[in-house]
């Protein structure tokens, strides 16, 4: 019986130890304790006021919520910076009388990621996503907020995956 308890205890400790690297967010182990997200300027030809602040905060939130890294305003071991380079509304489908039935809002963000502890992880890349909406609706107020939530959720998750999850 004593031998059985020892085996169970050892098995359980090995099981816990082997789960130490895995986490539920998919982030790879990172040799860093801090991250910094610089303000993303809106350099798109069509400017929607306030989206640069919203995006910057959303990127900070996803990294804070999915890692144990600490957000700092200067000197972060991981640095995210860039700019919003495109904000575009385009017609997607037409009606029989050649009018737009559906429009698409597309936002593209250029991101520069730097890892001071592992420079081979550094990259500069564009991330883009879209939101389709009825052409008869104005993209303002709650409709715009919903569109930005959908787009920024996808883009920030893609940035997180590229920089920390290595997917």
pLDDT in tens, 137-160: 888 888 899 999 999 999 999 999
Tell me the HSE value of 42 on the side-chain side, using a 13 A CA sphere: 15
Would you give the DSSP letter of residue 153? Answer: H
pLDDT of 62 higher than 90: yes
Instruction: Report, as an integer, the average pLDDT of 20-39.
Output: 70
Nearest Cα to Cα of residue 29 among 115, 142, 146, 158: 115
Query: Mean pLDDT over residues 16-43, rounded?
Result: 71
Residue 138 backbone phi and psi in degrees, to 5: -85, 140
């Amino acid at each position: 019986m004593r031998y059985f308890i020892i085996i169970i205890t050892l098995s359980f400790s090995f099981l816990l130890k082997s789960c130490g690297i895995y986490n539920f967010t998919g982030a790879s182990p990172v040799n860093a304790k801090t991250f910094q997200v610089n303000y993303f300027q809106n350099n798109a030809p069509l400017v929607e006021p306030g989206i640069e602040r919203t995006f910057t905060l959303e990127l900070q939130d996803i990294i804070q919520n999915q890692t144990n890294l600490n957000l700092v305003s200067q000197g972060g071991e991981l640095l995210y910076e860039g700019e919003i380079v495109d904000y575009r509304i385009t017609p997607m489908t037409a009606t029989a009388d050649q009018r737009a039935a559906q429009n698409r809002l597309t936002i593209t963000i250029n991101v520069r990621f730097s890892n001071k502890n592992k420079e081979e992880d550094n990259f500069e890349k564009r991330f883009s996503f879209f939101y389709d909406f009825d052409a008869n609706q104005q993209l303002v107020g709650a409709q715009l907020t919903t569109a930005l939530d959908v787009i920024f959720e996808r883009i920030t998750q893609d940035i997180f995956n590229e920089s920390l999850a290595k997917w």
